[in-house]
Amino acid sequence: DSYDFGDVSQKKGKVFTSFTLKNEGKSDLQISKLDTSCGCTFAAIVFEGKESPFFTMPGHGSENPSWEGVTIPPGKEAELKVMYDPNVHQDFRGEATREIYVYSNDPVEFEKKVVVDLNQVD
């Protein structure tokens, strides 16, 4: 549940990765909310060809959009699309770890965390 972007060039801009979210339960998985640990990191859900808006860390001058969420039937998969924007922290150089939180009705793991690592350069 992690991904290492390696070196991320500020000059080259935004980088993307994705994670697969699979409903391995016996009832519908309802994803109701996404958050990130920093305003430089954004997340969206793609399910059946429809992409949610991008969500980021709440506050800091930007509010997350309203969203009805998504329902994933048992055995189906969705994509968690993650974007890191190095230009949010223009003076930052070095290693960073950012977290993405997926909130759902899962009775065991209602807050799923995925992590991205990177080294911001130039």
pTM of the model: 0.93
Residue 58: predicted pLDDT: 84
Nearest-angstrom CA–CA distance, 111 and 103: 5
Question: What's the order of all strands across the beta sheet hosting 41-47?
Answer: 15-22, 77-84, 41-47, 50-51
Residue 95's identity, in one-letter code, is E
Contact 54, 67 (CB under 8 A): no
Nearest-angstrom CA–CA distance, 28 and 117: 31
Nearest-angstrom CA–CA distance, 111 and 101: 6
Residue 54: predicted pLDDT: 95
Query: Does 61 have pLDDT greater than 70?
Result: no
pLDDT digits (tens, 9 = 90+) for 14-28: 999 999 999 999 999
